[in-house]
Amino acid sequence: MFKKLFGGKSIKEAFSGQKIKESLTRTRNSFFGQISGLFGGEVIEDDMWEDLESLLIQADVGVETSMQLVETVRDRVQLEGITRPADAQEIFREEMKKLLEGHEESAVEKQRILTVILVVGVNGSGKTTTIAKLASLYKQEGKRVLLAAGDTFRAAAIDQLKIWGERSDTPVIALEPGADPGAVIYDALKSSYARKTDIVLIDTAGRLHTKFNLMKELEKLRGIAAKQVHEAPHETLLVLDATTGQNAISQAVHFKKSVEITGVVLTKLDGTAKGGAVFAIGKELGVPVRFIGTGESMDDLMPFDPEAFVNGLFEDVSISDDEEKEEE
Amino acid sequence: MFENLQDRLNNAFSQLTSRGHLSEADVDSALREVRIALLEADVNFKLVKDFIKRIRERTVGIELSKAITPGQQVVKIVHEELLVTLGEPAKLNLGGGSPHVIMMVGLQGSGKTTTSAKLALHLRKAKYSPLLVAADTRRPAAIEQLAVLGRELNIPVHREDTSISPPQICANAINVAKANAYNVVILDTAGRLQIDETLMGELEEIKTRTSPQEILLVADSMTGQEAVRVSKGFHEKVDVTGLILTKIDGDARGGAAISIRSVTGVPIKFLGVGEKSSDLEVFHPDRLASRILGMGDILSLIEKAEDVIDEEVAERGAKRLMEGNFNLEDFLEQLQQIKKLGSINKVLDMIPGMGKMAQDIPKDEMEKQLKKTQAIINSMTTKERRNSRILNGSRKRRVAKGSGTKVQDINQLLSQFRQMQKMMKQLKNPRARQKMMKMFDGLM
């Protein structure tokens, strides 16, 4: 579908425009809309900086990151002798983008015999659903995909993945519930070679990042993949619920430490949540957002593009949201 | 990453030399710290504003106490205010005619299905006979998930085909409960966004058709600023009667609890504290308040210790220590007790003030070392454990082989152990004991 729609353009290019904008309308109106409003005046007033900081905090960007961001922008405005709020906004936009940009490209795009993607995260963040969406996306790119049902712990997690597999016509390698997830991964990778699979997506059980033994297990699972396939996993994605507050940073820190996450998938962005924690994650850990999840159906996943993300947030908004006004 | 609020305030007050009353300037600098602590704990921005206002009113002009530091005084006030907001823990309301209906609602992934099973188990322990209802027809295999949990716990689950509408399934379940004398019905509804009008309408319909006594909002303790909007959305549509906060076993500070409480005004009824079906706890406001302030959870640690540690064993160890007869066998016994508390990581996290310090402790190493020590002692004969002096070269080699370690490891353990023995012997001297106690006081 992607190929057809966008005439062979890469997914990233295709999405950098309209669709991200559409999907973020809600976020835009309720939050960044106000930011644009802030910069709407004739002169820069001191209140503006305070309001800007408070809006960022309310988007879960975090106290520290918000304060730093505002300070950076403020310093630049002073240094560059800027007097018009509209120009200040431009600088703010640039600084926000900076936090999300400049990271390594995904290693998935590289040519190789078999690409392994490990998907990790805390309970209920949306790993299994994200895997289903990723499978559908790669299949539409013409890749042969295989799913490994590595969550053998949660009741019926295997069934959940199998149902998604059926819907997207993707093979699922699974053992019985309670089986060693390492064995599942081993089987899946072995069978991938036999089937000439292009991409294996490994589902894992949700685990809180503070659980020592479960994080150790995850390290072990990563090791099994590394042993079977050269340089695997080629991508390790942390699935992060956009509704999560400051704990998101702790999650990213811990998962990075144990399994070297290479990217974040920000899920549940179809609600009112902003997922502002990704700015801190980008700043502190240099881990980029790769995809955003915007719904429950298989096509509700988009590659993340910082440029389009930040630009989209600023475009064409008004501050007529009554509820928001009342809140301030 | 986060410092303890107490440390921060002590820092903010370090300039404070004047005795008497807290000035406005003192209070302002303290409140800045309080504000940051609350925001970092994910308490809603607007609520923090109101909160700070209230604390300010109570703090300006208070008389400085000689007994405690100004920092401690402010923390106490903040703590009290948090307690007021968190409210008293409340029990389930299972009055009225049988079957009592409990409806579980919440966002996707907040933990409704797991919590439904936990609640059913909790109720069965309280001599109710619960019926679980799989009303999530949307998420693939959600019905199967509840069915599996029900099977594991031996609790009946009412399920129907995914083509049947959830309100219909729930209504049917009530009849099933009546016919089979189940006295509590727990409705596990699908996760949904509070702004999804169609699905929120479905919740209203379920409510109308089943008249639940309890509508419990299941919320992830990691939720950020959105907690206000989410709980407002659910409360406006279905009138939530209670809250369950899940995944509290992580390291989230749980400020969302304050947000949700303030918006809905309904009590927090339970906390989800782990992945096992028995991991459902009654809510303790004081603990959650301490946690939100980043002050650890020593009460939970103590309770856990009381729960898992065998008092007799602990006492026996202490007695032998004092007598100077502590041997490797006793040592192993005590180690096993400590291990029951959970991973070192978890234990450290619960100790107040450890927040920052805990990061510098190589916990993985400690965990490994503990395992190694255990393996070594396990590989010794009883005789060797009771009298480590008989461990000669060949015995050490055998133990090393048995425990997968090296002879050096065994020597190291023995020398450490002997040092400990020596120290303990010194403790028999009352004056040395006093000195030691003082040292501990300094640490606490």
One-letter amino acid for residue A40 of the chain: G
Residue A300, pLDDT score: 92
Alpha helices in B310-443 (DSSP H): 311-323, 328-340, 344-350, 354-360, 363-378, 382-386, 393-403, 407-427, 430-443
- Check CB contact under 8 Å for A58 and B225: yes
The pTM score is 0.78
Q: How confident is the model at residue B261 (pLDDT cuts 50, 70, 90)?
A: very high
Residue A328, pLDDT score: 37
Nearest beta carbon to residue B195 from set A125, A253, A271: A271
Summarize pLDDT for B343-385 with one digit per residue, the tens.
666 666 655 545 445 556 666 777 788 888 888 998 999 889 8
All residues of chain A having their beta carbon less than 8 Å from the beta carbon of residue B142 are: 156, 160
Residue A6 has pLDDT above 50, yes or no: no
Summarize pLDDT for B398-410 with one digit per residue, the tens.
999 999 999 998 9
All residues of chain B having their beta carbon less than 8 Å from the beta carbon of residue A249 are: 1
**Best of B146, B223, B226 to disrupt the A interface by mutation (most A CBs within 10 Å)?**
B226
Q: Rounded distance, CA A56 to CA A38, Å?
A: 12
Residue A1 has pLDDT above 80, yes or no: no
Residue B345, pLDDT score: 64
Residue B161 has pLDDT above 90, yes or no: yes
- Check CB contact under 8 Å for A212 and B224: no
- Distances B278 to B119, B305, B345 between C-alpha atoms, Å: 9, 17, 22
Average pLDDT over residues A146-174: 95
Choose among B301, B290, B283: nearest CA to B253.
B290
Residue B238 has pLDDT above 90, yes or no: yes
Average pLDDT over residues A28-43: 65
Average pLDDT over residues A120-142: 95
Residue A160 has pLDDT above 80, yes or no: yes
Q: Rounded distance, CA A113 to CA B90, Å?
A: 58
Q: How confident is the model at residue B2 (pLDDT cuts 50, 70, 90)?
A: very low
Summarize pLDDT for B81-98 with one digit per residue, the tens.
999 999 988 889 988 888
Nearest beta carbon to residue B250 from set A59, A60, A122: A122
For B329, the token pair is 């066998």
- Distances B352 to B7, B254, B348 between C-alpha atoms, Å: 11, 16, 9
Q: How confident is the model at residue A4 (pLDDT cuts 50, 70, 90)?
A: very low
Average pLDDT over residues B244-270: 92
Q: In percent, how much of chain B has pLDDT > 70?
A: 82
Residue B397 has pLDDT above 80, yes or no: yes
Contact with chain B for residue A311, Cβ under 8 A: no
Residue B39 has pLDDT above 80, yes or no: yes
Residue A21 has pLDDT above 60, yes or no: no
More confident residue, B89 or A308: B89
Residue A10 has pLDDT above 50, yes or no: no
Residue B116 has pLDDT above 90, yes or no: yes
Residue A326, pLDDT score: 40
How much is the ipTM here? Answer: 0.85
Residue B71, pLDDT score: 76
Summarize pLDDT for A81-97 with one digit per residue, the tens.
988 888 888 898 889 88
Residue A301 has pLDDT above 90, yes or no: yes
Q: Rounded distance, CA B12 to CA B70, Å?
A: 10
Phi-psi region of B42 (alpha: psi -120 to 50; beta: other; left: phi over 0): left
Q: How far is B87 from chain A (nearest CA, A)?
A: 23
Residues of A numbered 92-151 whose beta carbons fall under 8 angstroms of chain B's beta carbons: which are they?
122-126
Q: How confident is the model at residue A313 (pLDDT cuts 50, 70, 90)?
A: low
Q: How far is B46 from chain A (nearest CA, A)?
A: 8
Residue A2, pLDDT score: 35
Residue A9, pLDDT score: 38
Residue B413, pLDDT score: 87
Residue B303, pLDDT score: 58
All residues of chain B having their beta carbon less than 8 Å from the beta carbon of residue A26 are: 195
**Count of alpha carbons within 13 angstroms of residue B249, beta-carbon side:** 18
Residues of A numbered 214-273 whose beta carbons fall under 8 angstroms of chain B's beta carbons: which are they?
241, 243-250, 253, 268, 270-273
Q: Rounded distance, CA A69 to CA A95, Å?
A: 7
Pairing of strands A199-204, A172-173: unpaired
Choose among B295, B270, B273, B274: nearest CA to B284.
B270
Which residue of chain B is at minimal alpha-carbon distance from A277? B224
Average pLDDT, chain A: 83
* Residues A109, A98 contacting (CB under 8 angstroms): no
Q: How confident is the model at residue B294 (pLDDT cuts 50, 70, 90)?
A: confident
Summarize pLDDT for A228-286 with one digit per residue, the tens.
999 999 999 999 999 999 999 999 999 999 999 999 999 998 887 878 889 999 988 98
Residue B28, pLDDT score: 86
Residue B16, pLDDT score: 61
